Amino acid sequence: AQSVTQLDSQVPVFEEAPVELRCNYSSSVSVYLFWYVQYPNQGLQLLLKYLSGSTLVKGINGFEAEFNKSQTSFHLRKPSVHISDTAEYFCAVSDQAAGNKLTFGGGTRVLVKP
Amino acid sequence: GAVVSQHPSRVICKSGTSVKIECRSLDFQATTMFWYRQFPKQSLMLMATSNEGSKATYEQGVEKDKFLINHASLTLSTLTVTSAHPEDSSFYICSARDGQTKYNSPLHFGNGTRLTVT
């Protein structure tokens, strides 16, 4: 069975500072990893994905993530955040064994302060 | 890009009534749609997977008679909350996978429906 753990439920950060959101997963087979962002009362928007190939993945809005197979991690980073980055961020995993269903982590709320 | 339209965005209903939520893929054919439920400040929990033309597959613990899912066409899936009670109040989100893309392609999400049962 696959599972996702987001180690931080809330991350306060000052504007223009860097941020890292941690994500660890467990799965018995090769996985596909995703980061989504959710703004209040909205659905989810894909930030980036790792399917195969380069372990450093660049996404939209200046975000990037690095897949680390040995540490089973897929941490999300942004070098300089904006107020508009205040949102909930979800890490998710899917694999063929699970019928390609997405399993989400508990979410990390990023609060960017001026 | 692929767009999933979910309607209504908000609905308030009285206890005992039924509510239908629609999820449409606007510019692609969605052979598979997923319905999620999200409680305040929590993650998304998969309720069921619906495949066009067949019965939905429900996750463990989800009452199939309470949450009726219909996926009658390649662009429309509906979730009906029957005999709603206050504990059914939640944020419901649908997502869809483009049938023309690979099995590991990202899902496209609707904007969600906030259901409040009074």
Residue that the structure tokens 């195969």 belong to = A52
Distance CA B28, CA B1 (A): 10
**Mean per-residue pLDDT for B58-70?**
94
Min CA distance, B114 vs chain A (Å)? 8
CA distances for A57 relative to A48, A62, B43, B54, angstroms: 7, 11, 23, 36
**Mean per-residue pLDDT for B35-54?**
89
Is pLDDT of B76 > 90?
yes
Residue that the structure tokens 């597959």 belong to = B57
Contact B52, B75 (CB under 8 A): no
pLDDT classification of B103: cutoffs 50, 70, 90 = low
List, for residues B12-36, the tens digit of each pLDDT value: 999 999 999 999 999 888 888 999 9
At residue B82, φ and ψ (nearest 5 deg) are -90, 145
Rg (CA), chain A: 14
Which of A9-18, B1-10, B84-93 has the lowest average pLDDT?
A: B1-10
Is pLDDT of A95 > 80?
no
List, for residues A19-61, the tens digit of each pLDDT value: 999 999 987 777 889 999 999 878 899 999 998 889 999 999 9
Min CA distance, A39 vs chain B (Å)? 10
Task: Quote helix, strand, coil % in chain A, to nearest 5.
Answer: 10, 50, 40
Residue that the structure tokens 């680390």 belong to = A68
**Mean per-residue pLDDT for B58-80?**
93
Distance CA A15, CA B101 (A): 38
Contact A68, A53 (CB under 8 A): no
At residue A5, φ and ψ (nearest 5 deg) are -120, 120
Instruction: Kindly determine whether residue B43 and residue A106, on different chains, have CB atoms separated by under 8 Å.
Output: yes
Residue that the structure tokens 């994905």 belong to = A49
Instruction: Kindly determine whether residue A102 and residue B46, on different chains, have CB atoms separated by under 8 Å.
Output: yes
Min CA distance, A99 vs chain B (Å)? 9
Average pLDDT, chain B: 91
Residue that the structure tokens 């109040």 belong to = B89
> Which residue in A29, A34, A6 sits closest to A109, CA to CA?
A6
The bridge status of strand B30-38 relative to strand B44-51 is antiparallel
pLDDT classification of A99: cutoffs 50, 70, 90 = low
Chain B residues near any Cβ of chain A (below 8 Å): 4, 6, 9, 34, 41-44, 46, 49, 91, 93, 95, 97, 103-104, 106-107, 109-112, 114
Residue in chain A closest to B91 (alpha carbons) equals A41
pLDDT classification of A97: cutoffs 50, 70, 90 = low
More confident position, B82 or B103: B82
Is pLDDT of B102 > 70?
no
Could you tell me what percent of chain B has a pLDDT over 90?
68
HEC states along chain B? CCCEEEECCEEEECCCCCEEEEEEECCCCEEEEEEEEECCCCCEEEEEEEECCCCCEECCCCCCCCEEEEEEECCEEEEEECCCCHHHCEEEEEEEEECCCCCCCCCEECCCEEEEEC
